Amino acid sequence: MSKFSSKTIFGTCEVCGKKIKKDVYGQGKCPFCGWRNCYLNAEHPDNVLHPNLISLNKAKKLYLEGKAFDPNLDEFLEALHSYGEMQFKYNNICYAVELMGTELNNNLIQLYNANTKEIFVFKNDADFKTNAKIEGKLLKEIWDETTDRYWLQ
């Protein structure tokens, strides 16, 4: 048996504290709480960073409260600025949200309805948060009913 036969090491989940498998970079999804462990999140516990959609400190708080690691609209937008492209579903319709920077305005946000192919463009985060609508309803008011929020697959 070679001493290089296994690259799996054991570590502690940053959120729930249970013993989990990690790779040599300290990365690994926790099978107990679902947190995607990554040194970047550990180093910046208040920021939304790959591969998660909420910050480490928020995840710890939600874990203690027994809640799911769902991003609110602010965290979704923070993740958008990290990933560039995001998606979510509402009533089984997939929506893509993309940053589309231009020289004059690098904060433009595009909302794409994969069903109707309609595209809506917003000036910036605040415009998106205030005015984005899905099926005639303000996104901020139906956010809790959306699912599958993730970076674009």
Under the criterion CB under 5 A, does residue 13 sit at the interface with Zn ion? Answer: yes
Under the criterion CB under 5 A, does residue 15 sit at the interface with Zn ion? Answer: yes
Cα→Cα distances 69→18, 125, 134, Å = 17, 22, 23
Site size for Zn ion, by CB under 5 A? 7
Under the criterion CB under 5 A, does residue 59 sit at the interface with Zn ion? Answer: no
Under the criterion CB under 5 A, does residue 38 sit at the interface with Zn ion? Answer: no
Under the criterion CB under 5 A, does residue 97 sit at the interface with Zn ion? Answer: no
Q: Binding segment for Zn ion among 8-16, 68-76, 122-130, 142-150 (CB under 5 A)?
A: 8-16
The CA-CA-CA angle for residues 32, 38, 68, to 5°, reads: 40
CA 7 to chain centroid, in Å, comes to: 28
Within 10 angstroms of residue 139's Cβ, the number of other Cβ atoms is 22
CA 14 to chain centroid, in Å, comes to: 17
Going by C-alpha positions, the residue among 33, 44, 45, 105 that lies closest to residue 69 is 33
Smallest separation (angstroms) from Zn ion to the CB of 50: 18
Q: Binding segment for Zn ion among 23-31, 44-52, 90-98, 107-115 (CB under 5 A)?
A: 23-31
Under the criterion CB under 5 A, does residue 39 sit at the interface with Zn ion? Answer: no
Residues that bind Zn ion (CB under 5 A): 13, 15-16, 30, 32-33, 35
